[in-house]
Amino acid sequence: MKVRIVPVAVAALGLAACTVGPDFTRPEPPAAENYGVSTTPAAAARPSFVFGAEISADWYRLFRSETLNGLVQEALTNNPDLEGARHGLLAAQRELEAVAGSALPRLNANGNIERAHINGSLLYEPISAFSATGNQLNVGLALAYNLDAFGGVRRSIEAQAAATASARAQALDTYVTLVDQVVVNAFDYAATQAQIEVTRSLVDELQAQFDLTQRLEVAGKITGSDTLQAQAQLESTRASLPALEKQRDAYRNALAQLVGDTPDQFALPQLTLREFALPTEVPVSLPATLVRQRPDILAAEDDLHQASAQVGVAEAARYPSFNISAQYAQQATKVDDLFTKAAGIWSFGLGVAQPLFDGGTLAARAGEATERYRQAQARYRSTVIAALVEVANALQGLEHDADGYTAHLRSLDAARGSRDLALEQLWAGKISRLQVLIAEQQFQSAALTQVQADAQRFADAAALFRALGGGWWNAQRDPSSLPTAGVSAPLLDVRESTSTAGASRETGNE
């Protein structure tokens, strides 16, 4: 029996080096050298773009606001979505450990005690032929091992490793998005508060203008239509205040949620648009680098890798499977007889199973896996294109913001000059007080649009950092891992973990 089993087992072990299905290779980065934007020197009102420069993980500090820095750190410490994403990564890692264990032999210890009565029917004799009652004790070990001749198990492990890498990329994306959302909501809150202050000043000016028109109408110097027009303008501007206050409160509540507080618990520190500064230089990753850093692209790449491995799993299911099983036990009717040579029993065997007819199920599964892989390829390409478009939009947005900001600044300067001139003419007795109020109103309106233009520049700058991946790879510790007690930053060194992940991406199924 040994002579027949051993050669077959050796042949099966030789087949174990075979792995069916495609070996994954990372998609090539895009050939584009830039994002279709100008690389000429920056306009006066926009930051300089430094292409190929590294992005800092704490890029938000470039806006030079300690209040903003504190909000981001609080969010990174307390945000429940980020904590949940990190636990999701830990769960995926444990699942990978569980799946990897299927490649190893399974060894079980077993034992049982039973008491039974038998009669002659056991040997197809009359029941009265014999009669026996006794105990049976059994203690032993059982071994089972899947030789994985065609790599189905290895492909399953590869697929789970890719799923784990995707979970890490998703946790990183949650981290990057969280930082961006805190920054953008802080900008929006400060900008809305500034708009409220300017609008309130404008309401005061319009109220004074309306009061003056009423007096002028009583004096017979203007008509009632002028007074109604002034009142309509006043009430229209006043009506815009509740909407702005509602928007401001919504931004405040959004910040409370991001930092992990309820609205009643959250104490928002003083936050004004004047305390922010636009960075003078903004690093911009090149497209070939971007696809190796943006978490959503990495997640799409890992999903593609997982789909590739699943093709191998489906293909391996159509080939023979080889299993080794072995058992050794001590079996006796008395405790004293256990663990003796006479009580020993054993067995060893090699099992082979080959699907012959399954109604086309396995072929259909293989075809489905292939189409899922092609679907993942299309999704990866779509994700890359969307990322490049997002970066291009942010870069172009900053360019256009600079032009708009400069135009609004000129408009504000002109309105301020007009107001100052009107005041001089008023004191000289050349114009009426009503004309001065109109000039003041124009100045306040220009100030309102200038606030909006200023806030847009900050928001688009933050959008660019988000589109470029947020600089997580330059963090001191891996942002996707959970912090320990008393440590506000995650534990793993990001450079080590990134190099390990990069190696697994390059080698595929090794």
Write out residues in the chain with pLDDT < 70, as ranges.
1-17, 38-45, 405-406, 408, 412, 423, 426-429, 432-434, 436, 484-510
d(CA 439, CA 416): 8
Locate 386 and state its tokens: 């969307």
Residues 6+ apart with CB under 8 A from 178: 75, 76, 79, 81, 82, 258
Instruction: For tokens 């492990």, name the residue.
Output: 157
d(CA 465, CA 60): 9
d(CA 407, CA 413): 10
Task: Using alpha carbons, select from 50, 103, 90, 274 the residue that is nearest to residue 170.
Answer: 90
Locate 108 and state its tokens: 């079980």
d(CA 32, CA 510): 31
Residues 6+ apart with CB under 8 A from 467: 387, 390, 391, 393, 394
Locate 321 and state its tokens: 């499977």
d(CA 356, CA 12): 19
**For 37-64, how does the pLDDT look when each residue is reduced to its tens digit (9 = 90+)?**
765 555 566 788 899 999 999 999 999 9
Residues 6+ apart with CB under 8 A from 340: 330, 332
Alpha-carbon distances of 325 from 1, 13, 144, 281, 416, rounded to whole Å? 15, 14, 4, 66, 91
Task: Using alpha carbons, select from 384, 373, 375, 404 the residue that is nearest to residue 469.
Answer: 384
Question: Could you tell me the residue ranges of all domains in the chain?
Answer: 2-23+42-507
d(CA 465, CA 86): 22
What is the predicted pLDDT for the residue at 43?
A: 59
Residues 6+ apart with CB under 8 A from 223: 217
Residues 6+ apart with CB under 8 A from 160: 92, 95, 96, 99, 100
Helix (H, G, I), strand (E, B) or coil at 351: strand
What is the predicted pLDDT for the residue at 401?
A: 77
Asked if 158 and 313 touch (Cβ cutoff 8 Å), the reply is no
Beta-bridge mates of residue 138 = 112, 331
Task: Using alpha carbons, select from 303, 281, 294, 282 the residue that is nearest to residue 30.
Answer: 294
Beta-bridge mates of residue 349 = 325
Entry pTM: 0.83
Instruction: Please say whether the structural domain 2-23+42-507 has been given the CATH code 1.10.260.40.
Output: no
Burial class (CB in 10 A: 0-12, 13-18, 19+), 300: buried
Task: Using alpha carbons, select from 159, 167, 149 the residue that is nearest to residue 22.
Answer: 159
Task: Using alpha carbons, select from 241, 288, 86 the residue that is nearest to residue 174.
Answer: 86
Q: Is 21 left (phi over 0), alpha (psi -120 to 50) or beta?
A: left
Instruction: For tokens 């259909």, name the residue.
Output: 364
- Print burial letters for 193-211: b (CB count within 10 Å at least 16), e (below 16): bbbbbbbebbbebbbbbbe
What is the predicted pLDDT for the residue at 426?
A: 59
Beta-bridge mates of residue 133 = 117
Q: Which helix (H) or strand (E) holds 322?
A: strand 321-332
d(CA 185, CA 195): 15
